[in-house]
Structure 1
């Protein structure tokens, strides 16, 4: 990821003094919300967002692993295939990552 440098120390105007690591930890330990129309926590967002010019689907999924594997990895692969044609080696790598690596890292199933 490439971003502009932001000095977020407590002496900087507008800075909270909270470290990036603490903010990320809080973000990643916050329970998923229960969206309207669901009876349990779900991962996603009610609207499509964009990463640059690329739309990102945010359909609700019951696990973070499912959301990341399908709404990010497989969706990006699908767009790449649509725009540039199939690549068997890349498709295999994405499937292995989605089916094996992501669930193992997150300790969940898809």
Structure 2
């Protein structure tokens, strides 16, 4: 059986971290890209540095491809998103896009304490 990579993405506050935690709790192999692959970079050159923001949040190509191409585990859930995520879409069997209503998103973002 070929390896299956699943991307779980969505805007800030939609629940990517909660999905990650639940997948791990249930025994699945999952990574959160904010911790494993992401860095702030110039959007044109990909060189590290600059302020952290939507336009500068990138996945490290070497780290991402290394995990996505690795034969183990058979199933990998990748939770997160980045400006350059389109470059990695061919590695994913399926993409899950989390969505919530505006009021819920606003409430969640206002209650955040960790990022």
TM-score of the superposition, structure 1-length normalised?
0.23
Would you tell me which structure has more strand in proportion to its own residues? 2
Which one scores higher on RCO, CA 8 angstroms, separation ≥ 6? 2
Please state which structure has a larger fraction of its residues in helix: 1
Which TM-score applies when normalising by structure 2?
A: 0.23
